[in-house]
Amino acid sequence: MGNNLTEIIYNVSALIALGAMVTAFLRMIIGPTIADRAVALDAMTLVTISLIAFLTLLLQRKVYLDVAIVYALISFLGVIAVARFLDKGL
Amino acid sequence: MIMVSFYILGIIILLAAILAIYARNIVTAIISTGVISLLVSILFLLLAAPDVAMTEAAIGSGLTTMVFLYAYNRIRRIRERNDG
């Protein structure tokens, strides 16, 4: 975190990511059907991956990017399971 | 900014836990459990434990949701067969 502009950009991007997560979670709370909640889970997964990449930049640790890669590879399984369950049963 | 992330993620985790307990639909509770493990992995990452976060992401969000849905589907099918 070098100069002032970098800090401002980091703060604004983190606030945008957290706001997106809160909005997706509101859809998860009030969503009438299960499909709404599955889409909200998918959106929260994407926001989580971007937030982990942001933490990699903020804390300057390259190990955290491996977590984001593993998460991006694994996380589609839950949404696929819910979609398959809604279609004809797992 | 780290502390703001802590507070917001903690509040969302608490609300997701309450939703998982009090939801009438079981699939809603299962998805909410997936959300809890999703956000707990970010908290592990903020607490400087990336290996724990990786394990939590792989097992908690991927495998547990699939196993729970599979078990619920089996229960539903057995119940339909007993009724019909």
Best mutation target among A27, A39, A60, A71 (most B Cβ atoms within 10 Å) is: A71
- Whether residue B84 is predicted with pLDDT greater than 70 in this model: the reply is no
Instruction: Summarize pLDDT for B44-83 with one digit per residue, the tens.
Output: 988 988 899 888 888 887 888 889 999 999 998 898 888 8
Provide the residue range defining the domain that includes A62.
2-88
Smallest Cβ–Cβ distance between B12 and the set A25, A37, A67 belongs to A25
Structure tokens at A23: 């909005």
CB contact under 8 A, B31 and A64: no
Task: Tell me the shortest Cα–Cα distance from B38 to chain A, in angstroms.
Answer: 7
Task: Render each residue's pLDDT in chain A as its tens digit; 90 residues.
Answer: 457 888 888 889 989 999 999 999 999 999 788 889 999 999 999 999 999 998 898 888 888 898 888 888 888 888 888 888 888 777
> In terms of Cα–Cα distance, which of B18, B10, B68 is closest to B44?
B10
DSSP helix/strand/coil, A61: coil
DSSP state of B25: S
Report the domain count for chain A.
1
What is the ipTM, given to two decimal places? 0.85
**A51 close to B (CB below 8 A):** yes
Taking residue A1's Cβ as centre, other Cβ atoms within 10 Å add up to 10
The residues on B that touch A, with CB distances below 8 Å, are: 1-2, 4-5, 8-9, 12, 15-16, 19, 25, 27-28, 31-32, 34-35, 38-39, 41-42, 45-46, 50, 53-54, 57-58, 61-63, 65-66, 69-70, 72-73, 76-77
pTM of the model: 0.87
Residue B5 clears pLDDT 70, i.e. is over it: yes
What would you measure as the largest C-alpha separation in chain B, in angstroms?
A: 57
Name every residue whose Cβ is closer than 8 Å to that of residue B20 and which is 6 or more positions away in sequence.
B29, B32, B33, B36
CB neighbours of residue A8 within 10 Å: 10
Residues of chain B contacting residue A12, judged by C-beta atoms under 8 Å apart:
none
Listed in order, strand segments (DSSP E) in A14-86 are none
A45: left (phi over 0), alpha (psi -120 to 50) or beta: alpha
Q: Where are the beta strands (DSSP E) in chain A?
A: none
Tell me which residue has tokens 């990511």: A17
User: What value, to the nearest 5°, has the Cα angle with vertex B70 and ends B75 and B29?
Assistant: 85
